[in-house]
Amino acid sequence: MKYPLPKPPPFPTAPATKGRVRAVPKPAVTVYGYARASTGGQSGVAVDRPQLRQLLSEIAAGDVVMVTRLDRLARSTRDLLNTLAAISEKKAGFRSLGDAWADTTTAHGRLMLTVLGGLAEFVRELIRTRTGEGRARAKADGKSLGRKPKLTAHQKEEAIRRRDEGESVRAIARTYNVSASTISRLTA
């Protein structure tokens, strides 16, 4: 038995990553209008987004940056707050169509974002404190932090001796399968 093909969506679609289809939210765009709508083919989780960087460099005082949903702009609270700070530095506003509380053009929206910013700063400070305590506990227990050294203490002594005798740094590095800069940084 053949199954009928699904009906096409009522608005245009664009290809998305990993085989999914991303729907272009035409109703919101047609209601509010837009100068340019682009995700640059990247999701909000990407760290370096050239389209967003360009937008932030081009906005001027009095402009309002509008997004359909907050998750299209940023995937973490910290990233969102950094982006909103960059927008407010330019004396521009921000508005999310899907999240009415995220609107820096109104007093209520600014209040909500200020409260969220305070909470995010509080959480960052808690994480920093807990991380510091954990590092101190690990050091007290004798655990070494960071990555493992490339060379053992004996290999370091031998490499320094060979370097002091005049052997080339590159030759020494090849014998230990490390970079020449690793050998040149060794001190007695």
Active site amino acids:
38
Beta strands in 11-112 (DSSP E): 13-15, 21-23, 64-67, 93-96
In contact, 183 and 176? CB cutoff 8 Å: yes
Here the tokens at position 15 are 């290809």
Token pair for 172: 């020494």
Which amino acid is present at 176? Y
Question: Which structure tokens are listed for 153?
Answer: 């203490």
Helix, strand or coil, per DSSP, at residue 139? helix
Q: In this structure, how many other beta carbons lie within 10 angstroms of the beta carbon of residue 134?
A: 11
SS3 130: helix
The structure tokens listed for 183 are: 């050998």
Which of 132, 116, 46, 7 lies closest to 104 in space, CA to CA?
A: 116
